[in-house]
Amino acid sequence: MFSFFKKKQPAPAKTSEQGAVGSSEQEAAPALDDSVAGAPQPQAEQATPEKAQSAGADAVPAETASLAPAPAPVPEARPEPVSQHIPTAKAEVEVETELAAPASVSTLPEDEPVVAEKSSWLARLKKGLSRTGQSIGGLFVGVKVDEALFEDLETALIMADAGVEATEQLLAALRVRVRKERLGDGAQVKAALRDILAEHLAPLEKQFPLGRVSPLVIMIAGVNGAGKTTSIGKLANTFQAQGAKVLLAAGDTFRAAAREQLMEWGARNNVTVIAQEGGDPAAVAFDAVNAGRAREANVVMVDTAGRLPTQLHLMEELKKIKRVIGKADAAAPHEILLVIDGNTGQNAIAQIRAFDAAITLTGLVVTKLDGTAKGGTLAAVAAGSQGVRPVPVYWIGVGEGLNDLQPFVAKEFAAALIGD
């Protein structure tokens, strides 16, 4: 059963604060798979900068019209179409949708063991980092443990974008371990390097504090094309699987189809999306926080437009969004996450440093690690290369699937990077 939209959107809102021209983000809208194609579309709410300090608790009036269902070849119950008229300050948005029973977003049968899912994820992680793993782990096959091995390891780690500082720290610890334990076999040295790398990455491993406050307001930032909106959709699915009620805010009001893309993810997860076509992203974020509190949501995630750290006016806009969220909730945003592309290598260090200086990051989401030869970047982050703060890594992604974004575990990552 499918859903259909017929919308008449209002003209883009104009505000006195809409001075910055946003950059466009090259993220493709997600394609709905068969398991979620029939999910009901979320209710889009119009956010306006002129809103007072309203909690957004007013009910949206709906007019229900009963339409006769078309004859079906099989005796299948078809729910009645519902016509909703949503009044806004500027115009009226008509939404006509045919309701259907929500489909499960899980791709695994309910009776499949969690162990099998974990094993599948580790296999995907190892496959995703195989290019990096081959360049490092392959050095230990039939090798003599001597200075030549350490020189080859140094080259391989730097080529994997681990950075000079992290490479020096790792090899210094490995030399000590080899001498102390008198390791003379390549496999033993490989196992020692794997353990040392896991210890090196351990400070980046941190459990996401879901449930610490309610609503937990999460602000998402990043450069163009890093995968912010897609990551929000996957995280919404993850949070719902843990029993949380989620609300999304389409704070990217500049990129073409950004609002529609987040609406797609809202439909896929059956969650409400607070959106405005054009206008001030800070106003959307403000209204979303108030709406989340009024609706007793557990998580409010605010999407933002992609921007480069060198675009100073857009970095100032990001600071403004953070300030306005704080006016809706003095303690918010509780989490500020930077989404970085795992293929950017050492450039990710510059991104982390710039965004951290602007909005004080609380965590990272590393995407697109599948097929990268630059998996050592996180080692550089942990080492504090180029003056970057070792910001925790909450999630890493190795694919486009709904379950391909998983919590970062240092031991698992090191095993995939070096090899078992």
Q: Which amino acid is at 338?
A: L
Assigned fold of 211-408: Rossmann fold (3.40.50)
CA 270, CA 247: separation in Å to the nearest integer? 10
d(CA 193, CA 204): 18
Contact predicate 337/206, CB 8 Å: no
- Global pTM value: 0.72
- Kindly give the confidence (pLDDT) of every residue in the chain, 420 residues in length, as a single tens digit, with 9 standing for 90 and above: 333 333 334 444 443 333 333 333 334 334 434 333 344 444 445 554 444 343 333 333 333 333 334 444 444 444 443 333 333 333 223 222 222 333 333 333 444 444 556 667 778 777 777 766 677 888 888 778 889 999 999 999 998 888 899 999 999 999 999 999 998 888 999 999 999 999 999 999 999 999 999 999 999 999 998 989 999 999 999 999 999 999 999 998 877 677 888 888 888 888 999 988 777 899 999 999 999 999 999 999 999 999 999 999 999 999 999 999 999 999 999 999 999 998 888 899 999 999 999 999 999 999 988 766 677 899 999 998 888 999 999 999 987 778 889 999 999 999 988 876
Helix H or strand E encompassing 174? helix 164-181
* Identity at 103, one-letter amino acid code: A
Say if strands 299-302 and 92-97 run parallel, antiparallel, or are unpaired: unpaired
- Break the chain into its structural domains and give their ranges: 211-408
| Residue 248 to residue 240: CA distance in whole angstroms | 12
Rounded CA separation 240/218 (Å)? 15
- Residue by residue, DSSP assigns 115-149 as HHHHHHHHHHHHHHTHHHHHHHHGGGTT---SHHH
* Cα–Cα distance measured from residue 384 to residue 378, given in angstroms and rounded to the nearest whole number: 10
Three-state DSSP class for residue 260: helix
Q: Are 414 and 382 in contact (CB under 8 A)?
A: no
Cβ-in-10-Å burial (0-12, 13-18, 19+) of 246 comes to buried
The CA distances from residue 325 to 22, 195, 283, in Å, are 19, 42, 9
